[in-house]
Amino acid sequence: MNGYTLLDLAKSLDPNGILVDVASTLRQASPLFEHMPWIQANGLDTHTFSVETKLPEIGVRRLNQGVPVSKGSKTQRVETLYRYEGWSEHDVIEIDMAPNPKQYRYDMDIAYFSALAMQANKDLYYANPSLKADIGKSKGLATRLSKINGENVFSVGGTGSNLSSIYIVKQHVTGCTLAYPKGLKNVGIYKDDKGVQTKQYTDDDGVERALDVYRTKIGLALGLVVQKENYIARVGNISTDTGSTATKGKDIIDAVNKAMNRIGDGPGDVRIYCSTGVKDILDQYISEKQIITNNTADPFGRFIMNRAGANWYLDKQIACNEKLIK
């Protein structure tokens, strides 16, 4: 088993409550939230693990002769966990006039998680803790895979301003996973009803105003944990231009095949994620090659095809204006 998804954990902890509703909302917003396994971190805001850097040497045993004593070496790495938090706020009149105020307010609060999920999903690709806006976040996939190396980062040679990438992720609790903070029984999801509060503010004309609102604090705590660097890969510099400079579907497939050949051995499910611009190219390729696709396994219509030994999915949070990688 590759691990429990967020929805699996939510069903086991709170089968009829908010966790399942939020987990369902998150998985609709992002295929990563649908597919990735989750673990409980060993810290409140970090997850520490050991990585084997050198294997022990193995000798040949001969009669009356021992083998050299050898041992491997390991190093510790730390991944950062972070929290998204926001306020769902609605005029009491709007809520109280609804046919079912309690349900209406609940639905509005749950919908707020969609915006949270989209930001979290974007950061899983592009968060860069060296930037002021991303301080405290864990590195996104693009940040980890930012230099062409012929091992897990490849280029198809596109140039210009309309560049995108394909991200390959082998998902397993011992390879690439998501984590929530230690000790949180709600798998990192929280919703705190603050009831009715008076909101005071100054409008655009400088007039001081006050109104009563229902307020709910919502949040999600998580971090991307990559314990095996060869469980992730990127095919970048894909031109999504519509003219003759657009990258060809065959070139994408060839580059993905190279990346897949270098994905690490071991347990896990490999999935491939791409942007809308890359999907447009792939749709044309699928049509020209008459590739049969089966979309029945994906309830959200994001499945594209099975190629190079993995399922391909559309993720709209992958940008089509990425910087050129070198």
Instruction: Kindly report, residue by residue over 3-57, the tens digit of the pLDDT.
Output: 899 999 999 988 778 889 999 989 988 899 999 999 999 999 999 998 877 878 8
| Residue 127 pLDDT | 96
Residue 185 CB-density burial (10 A; 0-12 exposed, 13-18 middle, 19+ buried): exposed
Q: Is-above-0.85 flag for pTM? A: yes
Residue spans of alpha helices (H) in the chain: 6-13, 18-29, 31-35, 92-96, 101-126, 141-144, 249-261, 276-289
Task: To the nearest 10°, report the CA torsion of 20, 24, 26, 29.
Answer: -170
Domain hosting residue 24, numbered range: 4-49+77-185+222-314
Q: How many Cβ atoms from other residues are within 10 Å of residue 310's Cβ?
A: 18
Answer yes or no: are the C-beta atoms of 121 and 315 closer than 8 Å: yes
Provide, rounded to the nearest whole percent, the portion of the chain with pLDDT above 70.
97
Give the pairing of strands 163-171 and 153-155: unpaired
Answer yes or no: are the C-beta atoms of 326 and 148 closer than 8 Å: yes
Angle (CA) 314 86 299, round 5°: 25
Let me know if residue 193 belongs to a domain.
no
Let me know if residue 291 belongs to a domain.
yes
| Residue 322 pLDDT | 96
Residue 122 CB-density burial (10 A; 0-12 exposed, 13-18 middle, 19+ buried): middle
- Measure CA 70 to chain center: 39
| Residue 57 pLDDT | 82
Let me know if residue 194 belongs to a domain.
no
Let me know if residue 298 belongs to a domain.
yes
Let me know if residue 70 belongs to a domain.
no
| Residue 89 pLDDT | 93
Query: How many domains does the chain divide into?
Result: 1
| Residue 292 pLDDT | 63
- At 181, is the pLDDT very low, low, confident or very high (cuts 50, 70, 90)? very high
pLDDT at 296 over 60: no
DSSP 62: B
| Residue 74 pLDDT | 83
The mean of the pLDDT values for the chain is 90
| Residue 295 pLDDT | 56
Q: What is the spatial distance between Cα 224 and Cα 144, in angstroms, rounded to a whole number?
A: 11
Express each pLDDT in 61-109 by its tens digit: 888 888 888 887 888 999 999 999 999 999 999 999 999 999 999 999 9
Let me know if residue 275 belongs to a domain.
yes
Let me know if residue 56 belongs to a domain.
no
